[in-house]
Amino acid sequence: METTLIILKPDAVQRGLMGRIITRFEEKGLQIVGCKLMQISGDLAATHYGAHKDKPFYKGLVAFMTSSPVLVLAIRGNGAITIARNMMGATFGSKANPGTIRGDFGVSNSFNLIHGSDSPDAAERELGLFFGKGEVLPWNRGGDNWIYDMSGGKVE
């Protein structure tokens, strides 16, 4: 089981898409184990996007991410990082396939609705930036036996 960070960006919040996007993750079988609506500070955005500091889009990205509240989620599941990234679709809404979050709800190459960690190391680092101790709550769902085949003694 993996836990990954998902951020519903200012455009998703402002457009009222939070519920529809969360529903997609839950319908897929992923579990919400942390959630908060927050205003990202300039310092937090700079830390989170530090790898892009020297890129031409960095300043605009930080301004965008601090322009409005975001919904930050910790999502858990078997292969959650890859599954979530596949569900998100290509980075640019104009190039994202129909059926993906960006493909169904986005057309902009700047406002792309959602962020998801791209690796286990990134997920651990990013979750630590946005969630404090005790804010990610792994809990047992009764329906997991209907989501995952556990007959072999492990999640499949």
SS3 115: strand
* Biggest distance spanned by C-alpha atoms of the chain: 50
**List of residues 6+ apart from 56 with CB closer than 8 A:** none
Mean pLDDT, all residues of the chain: 94
Rounded distance between C-alpha atoms, residue 93 and residue 33, angstroms = 27
Q: Which residue has the tokens 């640019």?
A: 92
Q: Of 48, 76, 102, 115, which is the active-site residue?
A: 115
Of the candidates 98, 85, 97, 113, the one whose C-alpha atom is nearest the C-alpha of residue 21 is 113
- Residue 112, pLDDT score: 93
CA dihedral 130, 49, 116, 114 (to 10 degrees): 100
- Residue 108, pLDDT score: 87
- Residue 148, pLDDT score: 87
Whether the per-residue pLDDT at 76 is higher than 80: the answer is yes
- Report the pLDDT averaged over residues 40-51: 94
Query: What is the percent of the chain with per-residue pLDDT over 70, rounded to a whole number?
Result: 100
Specify the range with the lowest mean pLDDT, choosing from 23-27, 61-65, 129-133, 150-154. Answer: 150-154
Residue 115 falls in the annotated catalytic set: yes
Q: Which domains does the chain have, with CATH numbers?
A: 2-132 (3.30.70.141)
Whether the per-residue pLDDT at 17 is higher than 80: the answer is yes
Strands of 31-38's sheet in order across: 31-38, 70-77, 2-8, 114-116
